[in-house]
Amino acid sequence: MDFINGVRTKELKVIPDQRGRLMEILREDDDIFAGFGQVYLTTTLPGVVKAWHLHKLQTDNVVCVAGMIRLGLYDDRKDSPTFGLANEFYLGVHRPLLVQIPPLVYHGWKCVSSEEALIVNTVTRPYNHAEPDEYRLDPHENHLPWDWSRADG
């Protein structure tokens, strides 16, 4: 797959033992580390779409730690070498992966598991309540070439 310019991934390693498991998500000495602003947990119920939005300043580092999501990215940056490119990732308990999303790339996801998905996002800037760095589109009615429906076959 060709990645959108600036999108990076990190394969995550789950280390199980008799007590449970451990999974490192992001370290400051990782090649992919771009700074720290805050870390938060968000959840998405089965079948729910949380999309579309972008940030002008912050980089997101998205990991699904329970359940599964279909993560969609779209490069709407007219000056980008990958303008018009879409990326799709399935991540979660069956696919431990961190996806780094640069500023100005639209992103969103749909919970595709039968249980609630838990998503950890480590961002490079703290949330500014007075002036949020968040710009939204409707999940279904927009100019992006994306269909959130399930493809049976």
CATH number at residue 74: 2.60.120.10
Q: Is residue 149 part of a domain?
A: no
| Total count of domains within the chain | 1
Strands (E), 37-153: 38-44, 49-54, 60-66, 68-75, 86-92, 97-101, 105-111, 117-123, 135-136
pTM of the model: 0.96
Q: Is residue 20 part of a domain?
A: no
Say if 148 falls within a structural domain: no
Cα(95)–Cα(112) distance, integer angstroms: 13
Is residue 105 a part of any domain in this protein? Answer: yes
Burial bucket for residue 25 (CB in 10 Å: 0-12, 13-18, 19+):
middle
Residue-wise pLDDT for 91-131, tens only, equals 999 999 999 999 999 999 999 999 999 999 999 999 999 99
* In-domain check, residue 145: no
Tens digit of each residue's pLDDT (9 = 90 or more) over 26-76: 999 999 999 999 999 999 999 999 999 999 999 999 999 999 999 999 999
Which domain covers residue 41, as residue numbers? Answer: 8-15+26-136
Alpha-carbon distance of 8 to 32, in angstroms, equals: 7
